[in-house]
């Protein structure tokens, strides 16, 4: 393949992906607008028209803004690649480090990647600010101050440097020192790093951003302990997170791995749901662990990362891969491994976009299975009522476009999911005996 041919393939992939995303978004907007005037029949006794229309308007605002983000991301990728942005930053970093006496290929490669990531974050910051302080605030969800936003950003930057820089140095060293099978060594480091993060996240990383206090409600603790015992699940603690400090959205989740597993409730969730509904939501989350969904997703992620690293190993040996993306073919003694790594993971979303519906379908399958498990441990009606409240409180649209939803949504649409739970309720006696 020539560099010109690969450039053509890259441009076609970028155009196709961007236009497909825009088309799906427009289809989604039209479907929501067509169903804005009336609450779906299945929800008419539970959700008021004003709440339904708020959800439609909130989703519309987010989708329209996301469409601008699609165009911006495409322009930024073109600027970094064919526009010469990566080559310019690489030359700038190399010259600066050579003048300072730190001109090793490894240091130059790390500096180039960090420069691209920092510039990308800086250019994308206005989008994040607008989402938080305009869209989320307009619909009453944002509770974050600008000061807290900036503190979070600084903490994230420092944490990224502390954890990411050693990893990046290690990866680039392995890529240059381990010969043709470097990708296998890098994969081993990547797997180890991610497992380590799973272990340390609950106790060391998450508390940097939120306050976690042990659940104080003794009656709720007793209910949860009984449910955990019935499901054969152990956790290192039950915690309430001060989610209301940043957002009015509610949630609950498991975090950690092995003995570090924690159950975390947003304070906003506990304020809104009844005891039975909290149990149902927790039973759903337990279903993910009982059906080994977390393990399956980790294994799938690691398997895909191995395949991607192998592919990168093949591409980085070709001149057309670099030149076709606007980068000079690196000399073997220069920081070519960093440029290959950077280019590959910048364009990967374009070529993996077609996998999105399959990944979403796989995730929705897990959600249905977790709901089915919850229906054997708690009343399906409690899960239904909890979901209705969560959809209402989070202003999640009840009428997403089916095509858009099948492409992107990791959870089934509200109507489909609740119909499934109601069917499970009718089967409950039979399920309980299985």
Reported as type and span, the H/E element at residue 239 is: strand 238-241
Cα–Cα distance between 209 and 106 in angstroms, integer? 32
Contacts 24+ apart (CB under 8 A), 4-8: 4/324, 5/320, 5/324, 6/320, 6/321, 6/323, 6/324, 6/325, 7/82, 7/324, 7/325
Cα–Cα distance between 240 and 237 in angstroms, integer? 10
CB 120 within 8 A of CB 76: yes
> Does residue 82 sit in helix, strand or coil?
coil
Q: Which of 267, 285, 334, 369 does the annotation list as catalytic?
A: 285
Looking at the DSSP bridge assignments, the partners of residue 253 are 264
Is position 371 annotated as part of the catalytic site?
A: yes
Q: Which of 136, 367, 371, 382 does the annotation list as catalytic?
A: 371
Tokens of 430: 């039979």
Rg for the chain, CA atoms, rounded: 24
Cα–Cα distance between 290 and 274 in angstroms, integer? 24
Give just the sign of the alpha carbon dihedral 143, 146, 150, 151: negative
Name the residue among 393, 377, 367 with its Cα closest to residue 271: 393
For the chain, the helix, strand and coil percentages under 3-state DSSP, each to the nearest 5: 75, 5, 20
Contacts 24+ apart (CB under 8 A), 246-250: 246/142, 246/143, 246/144, 246/148, 247/136, 247/141, 247/142, 247/143, 247/144, 248/140, 248/141, 248/142, 248/143, 248/393, 249/141, 249/393, 249/394, 250/390, 250/393, 250/394
CB 335 within 8 A of CB 90: yes
Name the residue among 310, 344, 311, 351 with its Cα closest to residue 327: 344
Looking at the DSSP bridge assignments, the partners of residue 50 are none
Reported as type and span, the H/E element at residue 274 is: none
Tokens of 163: 């954890």
Cα–Cα distance between 245 and 152 in angstroms, integer? 12
Q: Just list the catalytic residues.
A: 285, 371
């Amino acid at each position: 393949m020539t560099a010109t041919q690969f450039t053509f393939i890259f441009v076609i992939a970028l155009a196709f992906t961007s236009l497909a995303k825009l088309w799906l978004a427009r289809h989604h907007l039209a479907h929501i607008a067509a169903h804005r005037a009336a609450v779906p029949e299945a929800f008419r006794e539970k959700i008021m028209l004003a709440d339904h229309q708020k959800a439609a308007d909130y989703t519309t605002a987010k989708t329209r803004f996301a469409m601008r983000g699609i165009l911006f991301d495409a322009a930024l990728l073109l600027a970094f690649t064919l526009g010469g942005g990566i080559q310019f930053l690489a030359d700038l970093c190399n010259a600066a480090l050579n003048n300072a006496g730190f001109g090793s290929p490894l240091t130059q490669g790390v500096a180039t990647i960090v420069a691209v990531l920092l510039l990308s974050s800086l250019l994308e910051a206005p989008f994040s600010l607008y989402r938080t302080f305009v869209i989320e605030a307009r619909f009453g969800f944002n509770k974050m101050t600008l000061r807290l936003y900036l503190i979070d950003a600084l903490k994230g930057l420092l944490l990224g440097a502390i954890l990411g820089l050693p990893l990046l140095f290690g990866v680039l060293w392995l890529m240059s020192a381990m010969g043709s099978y470097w990708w296998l060594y890098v994969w081993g480091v990547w797997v180890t790093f991610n497992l380590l993060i799973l272990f340390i996240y609950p106790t060391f990383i998450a508390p940097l951003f939120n306050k976690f206090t042990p659940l104080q409600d003794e009656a709720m603790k007793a209910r949860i302990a009984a449910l955990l015992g019935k499901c054969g699940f152990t956790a290192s603690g039950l915690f309430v997170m001060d989610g209301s400090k940043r957002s009015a959205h509610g949630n609950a989740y498991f975090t950690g791995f092995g003995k570090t597993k924690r159950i975390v409730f947003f304070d906003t969730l506990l304020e809104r749901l009844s005891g039975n509904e909290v149990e149902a939501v927790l039973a759903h989350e337990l279903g993910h662990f009982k059906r080994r969904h977390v393990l399956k997703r980790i294994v799938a992620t690691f398997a895909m990362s191995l395949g991607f690293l192998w592919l990168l190993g093949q591409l980085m040996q070709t001149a057309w891969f670099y030149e076709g993306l606007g980068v000079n073919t690196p000399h073997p003694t220069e920081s070519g491994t960093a440029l290959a790594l950077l280019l590959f993971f910048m364009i990967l979303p374009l070529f993996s976009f077609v996998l999105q519906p399959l990944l979403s379908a796989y995730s929705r399958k897990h959600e249905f299975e977790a709901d089915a498990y919850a229906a054997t441990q708690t009343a399906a009606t409690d899960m239904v009522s909890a979901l209705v409240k969560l959809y209402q409180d989070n202003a999640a649209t009840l009428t997403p476009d089916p095509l858009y939803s099948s492409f992107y949504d990791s959870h089934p649409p509200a109507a489909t999911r609740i119909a499934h739970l109601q069917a499970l309720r009718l089967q409950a006696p039979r399920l309980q005996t299985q």
